[in-house]
Each structure stands twice: as structure tokens, then as C-alpha cells.
């Protein structure tokens, strides 16, 4: 029986597929299946996988429905108790699946475990050691740009970066799948937040290592697509996961946080686009009221615990900048 279903979403990523799939062929364990979900690629990705890696199960979508739809299709088609999401621009070490599986098994209340992501083009630097969210409304990658020998402890994080993370499949059935309204960006923080509201944990596994190219599908670090979707999804994430009293409590800090971001992106020439994204976030929040997290057991108590974490994560964010 397969214990892990590895799910790889892909959109015009043929240049990267050999790297990720050849690494999966060399794993120290064999108890896994691989599902590649293609978002209507036009670069020959599917033909390449069919001819070079015929053992990969492919789901071919007719168009680009985004990251969330792709991984949801993969999760629903999976047959294993654990699902492991991998970006197409990832390369894994031989013991990667073994380490990820061991980590999530150690923690019965874990919804997810994130891998140690290392920068492909600068292998002495981390790319991601788990995602954090703070009361300023900022999501950030822990450890990004730091020396490779930092973040070496297994510990709790706010959410796992879905570019390389393992999840308990049955919990999706309880808390819901990735929200397809997100399309891409912050969907992993959203589902990690939702899991915490339901009493689950997200953890970082330092021994599971991957190399990450970064922006393999979406392009450069700052572009119109990323900025609009990130600001849009951030407001939507807040609306969905925070009750009204918590939004009011955080409003002064959220105002400061969004103002700083607006000024920053204006300096890059994207100020208007960031604001348009925020407006779109308000619109989709109104259109998706049924997705707001409500009536969860012990929700108020968990919201307060998360609130304290949101405050602490402000300090962690600025301390991490000083240490770079």
C-alpha cells in the first residue's frame, strides 16, 4: 500500500520537470505514488512526462486553473494517507520522502510538516524554513536568505510552504481543501491558519531538504500578477480566518502594515496595482461569506492563542531582518 501521494502542480514547467522527477526516482523509500497535475501547459510538459517518466500518473486540466485547483485535484485523486506537495522547480535529496514521513508520524496533532528549502542558485542560503504570519498582515518565509546552518531544530511554525510540505489527507476532509478563490499565493498560509483554528499544528522538518529555484512558473519576484494576487489574497485571508472582534483588535496594526507595503510597492512602480489588489480582496470577501471559519469548537480560545502568536511574529520578523 502506498503511504504517500506526491502531488506536483505544473504549468509550462517542462524545463524543471526532469530535475524533480529524477530525484523522486532515487528515493530511499518506494512506498509512494506521484501525481502530476498539469494546468493546460503548451510547452510539451505532458508529452515529456509520458515518454520519460511513464510511472507518473498525470491529470491534464484543459486550462490554467491555478495552484489551488491543481493540488486539490491531486489530493482528491490520491490514495495514500499522506499527501506531499512539491513545486515543479524543486529538486529533492534521496532521503527526502523518508524524512518527511517520519516527521509527520512523530506528531499526531500535526496537519503539515514543511521541508528545509535551500536556494538553488546559492546553496549556502535558505529559501524557506516555514511560513509565518504577523499582526501587521504580513506573511513571510522564516530563514529566507540566512546561512544554511540556521533553523536546524524541529519546531512549530505558523504554516507550511506548500512548495515542499507533507499533509495528513484526512484532515482536509474536516477543514476543507485549498481555497480555489486564492488561485495562487498565500493559499498555504490560509490553510495552515484554518488548521490551527481547528486545533492542529504545523511543523518544520529540518532534515528533509530540497533545492528551490523559485518563481519557476510565475516569473520574477516582483511582477503584476504576484503583487495583485498577494494583496488581494491577504485581505481575503484576514476576513476568512479572523472573527470580527479580532479584525477590529488588529485594525491599527493592519493599517500600518498595509500602508508600509503600499509605499514599498509604489517605490517599485506597483503602488496602484497593490491597491487594486486590496480592493479586489474586499470584493471577493463579500462574495465568499460562506467560507468564513465559524462555529468551530474552542474557536475563541484558539483565536486568542493565535493572536498572541501574531504579536510575537512581528518581533520575529524584524529580528530576522537584523540578523541577515
Contact status, residue 224 vs residue 270, Cβ threshold 8 Å = yes
Mark whether 103 and 228 lie in a shared domain. no
Secondary element (H or E) of residue 168? strand 164-168
Residue 61: CATH number of its domain:
3.90.550.60
Last residue of a domain, one of 179, 212, 245: 212
Domain membership of residue 97 (yes or no) is: yes
Task: Determine the Cα–Cα distance for residues 47 and 39; give it in Å rounded to an integer.
Answer: 14
| pLDDT for the residue numbered 223 | 82
Residue 217 domain-assigned (yes or no) = no
Per-residue tens of pLDDT for the chain, all 324 residues = 799 999 999 999 999 999 999 999 999 999 999 999 999 999 999 999 999 999 999 999 999 999 999 999 999 999 999 999 999 999 999 999 999 999 999 999 999 999 999 999 999 999 999 999 999 999 999 999 999 999 999 999 999 999 999 999 999 999 999 999 998 889 999 999 999 999 999 999 999 999 999 864 545 567 888 899 999 999 999 999 999 999 999 999 999 999 999 999 999 999 999 999 999 999 999 999 999 999 888 889 999 999 999 999 999 888 766 655
- Tell me how many domains the chain contains: 2
151 and 64 assigned to the same domain: yes
Q: What grid cell was written down for 120?
A: 538553488
Could you give the 3-state DSSP secondary structure of residue 2?
coil
If asked whether residues 74 and 10 sit together in one domain, one would say: yes
Q: Per the domain annotation, does 288 fall within a domain? A: yes
**For position 321, what pLDDT does the model report?**
63
Task: Evaluate the CA torsion angle 257, 258, 261, 267 in order and state its sign.
Answer: negative
* The model scores a pTM over 0.85: yes
Asked if residue 219 is part of any domain, the answer here is: no
Instruction: Kindly state whether residues 70 and 198 are assigned to the same domain.
Output: yes
Neighbours of 223 (CB within 10 A): 13
Counted residue by residue, the chain has a size of: 324
Contacts of 24 (CB under 8 A, 6+ apart): 6, 32, 34, 92, 97
The Cα 256–Cα 210 span in angstroms is 35
Tell me, what's the pLDDT at 318?
85
Confidence (pLDDT) at 221: 66
Strand, coil or helix: 146 = coil
Among 188, 212, 236, residue at a domain's last position: 212
Give the separation between CA 43 and CA 37, rounded to whole angstroms.
Answer: 14
Cα–Cα–Cα angle for 63, 65, 71, rounded to 5 degrees: 120
Give the span between the Cα atoms of 132 and 141, in whole angstroms: 6
What are the residues whose beta carbons fall under 8 Å from the beta carbon of 41, sequence distance 6 or more? 10, 11, 12, 13, 14
Q: Which domain holds residue 315?
A: 224-323
pLDDT number for residue 216? 46
Q: Verify that 105 and 178 share a domain, yes or no.
A: yes
CA distance 206 to 18: 25
Grid coordinates of 47: 508529452
User: Based on the domain organization, do 157 and 55 belong to the same domain?
Assistant: yes
Look at the block and give the residue holding cell 490514495. 79
Amino acid at each position: 500500500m502506498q503511504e504517500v501521494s506526491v502531488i506536483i502542480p505544473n504549468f509550462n514547467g517542462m524545463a524543471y520537470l526532469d530535475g524533480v522527477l529524477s530525484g523522486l526516482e532515487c528515493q530511499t523509500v518506494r512506498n509512494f505514488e506521484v501525481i502530476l497535475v498539469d494546468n493546460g501547459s503548451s510547452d510539451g510538459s505532458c508529452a515529456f512526462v509520458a515518454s520519460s517518466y511513464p510511472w507518473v500518473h498525470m491529470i491534464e486540466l484543459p486550462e490554467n486553473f491555478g495552484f489551488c485547483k491543481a493540488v486539490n485535484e491531486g489530493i482528491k485523486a490520491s490514495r495514500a494517507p499522506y499527501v506531499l506537495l512539491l513545486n515543479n522547480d524543486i529538486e529533492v535529496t534521496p532521503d527526502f520522502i523518508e524524512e518527511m514521513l517520519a516527521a509527520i508520524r512523530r506528531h499526531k496533532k500535526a496537519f503539515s510538516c514543511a521541508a528545509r528549502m535551500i536556494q538553488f542558485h546559492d546553496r549556502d542560503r535558505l529559501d524557506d524554513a516555514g511560513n509565518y504570519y504577523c499582526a501587521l498582515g504580513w506573511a513571510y518565509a522564516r530563514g529566507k536568505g540566512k546561512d544554511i546552518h540556521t533553523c536546524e531544530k524541529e519546531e512549530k511554525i505558523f504554516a507550511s510552504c506548500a512548495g515542499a510540505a507533507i499533509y495528513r489527507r484526512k484532515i482536509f476532509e474536516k477543514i476543507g481543501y485549498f481555497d480555489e478563490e486564492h488561485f495562487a499565493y498565500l493559499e498555504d498560509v490560509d490553510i495552515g491558519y484554518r488548521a490551527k483554528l481547528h486545533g492542529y499544528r504545523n511543523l518544520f522538518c529540518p532534515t528533509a531538504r530540497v533545492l528551490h529555484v523559485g518563481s519557476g512558473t510565475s516569473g520574477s519576484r516582483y511582477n503584476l500578477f504576484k503583487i495583485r494576487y498577494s494583496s488581494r489574497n491577504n485581505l481575503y485571508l484576514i476576513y476568512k480566518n479572523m472573527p470580527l472582534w479580532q479584525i477590529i483588535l488588529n485594525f491599527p496594526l493592519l493599517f500600518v502594515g498595509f500602508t508600509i507595503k503600499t509605499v514599498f510597492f509604489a517605490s517599485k512602480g506597483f503602488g496602484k496595482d497593490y491597491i487594486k489588489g486590496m480592493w479586489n480582496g474586499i470584493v471577493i470577501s463579500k462574495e465568499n461569506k460562506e467560507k468564513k471559519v465559524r462555529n468551530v469548537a474552542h474557536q475563541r480560545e484558539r483565536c486568542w492563542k493565535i493572536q498572541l502568536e501574531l504579536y510575537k511574529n512581528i518581533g520575529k520578523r524584524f529580528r530576522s531582518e537584523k540578523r541577515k
